[in-house]
Structure 1
């Protein structure tokens, strides 16, 4: 499995790429992958510091995709800002991240870590406590995620 992340300066640049270049580029990649899933998220706020799509100082990404109950979307966003972000920001190995939103009450939490070992210090009992405090089970209808080891040769 591969994860590909693209960060656009503006929606206008994204729309221009899709209108002018996407189909031509996609045609040259036919047969090189299967089961692609594409989602477009709008940046809502940063996690820890000002987000930059720079990967030279990180070795690991944590990706969480959350589908939230419609009536709980506002609460989920508030808890991300008031509970989860401070907890991640206080973890020494966490470099930066972002929180994004897509139509249909879908959210992305992308956090960048110095290493798997540093991310490992953040997990298990701490996450369970934070999930209870944030009422995560009441907010989230579905949660999928992955840890992504970065491959420097694939970064452009």
Structure 2
């Protein structure tokens, strides 16, 4: 499995790419993958510092894709900002991240870490306690995620 993250300077640049180049590039890649899924998330806010799509100072990305109950969307976003973000930002080894939103009450939390070991320390010590405090089970109807080891040769 591969995860590919693309970051666009603006929606206008994304729309231009989709209109002018996407189909040609996709046709050239036919047969090189199966079960491709894509999702476009709009940036809502940063985790820790101003997000930059730079991967040279991180070895691991943690991505969480959350489907949130409609009535709990505002609470979920508030808890991300007030509970989860400060906890991640205060964790040694956490570099930066972002919180994004897609239509249909879907959210992505992407956090960049210096190493899997550093992310593991955060997870082992805090996740259960933070989840209870943020009432995550009441907010989230489905959660999928992965820890992605970055491959420097894939960074463009």
Q: Same fold (TM over 0.5)?
A: yes
Query: What do the CA deviations read for 1:120-146 (whole angstroms, capped 9, x no partner)?
Result: 100134100000000000000000000
How far did residue 83 of structure 1 move? 0.0
Alignment of 1:15-34 (within 5 A): 15-34=15-34
Following the alignment from structure 2 to structure 1, what is the Cα–Cα distance between the partners of residues 145 and 112? 14
- Mapped pair 1:5 → 2:10: no
1:58 paired residue number: 58
2:107 paired residue number: 107
TM-score (norm 2): 0.99
Query: What do the CA deviations read for 1:24-69 (whole angstroms, capped 9, x no partner)?
Result: 0000000000000000000000000000000000000000000000
User: Which sections of structure 2, spanning at least 5 residues, go unmatched?
Assistant: none
Instruction: State the number of aligned residues.
Output: 156
1:71 paired residue number: 71
TM-score (norm 1): 0.99
Please say which of residues 122-131 and 90-99 is displaced more in the overlay. 122-131
Q: 2:56 aligns to what SS in structure 1? A: coil
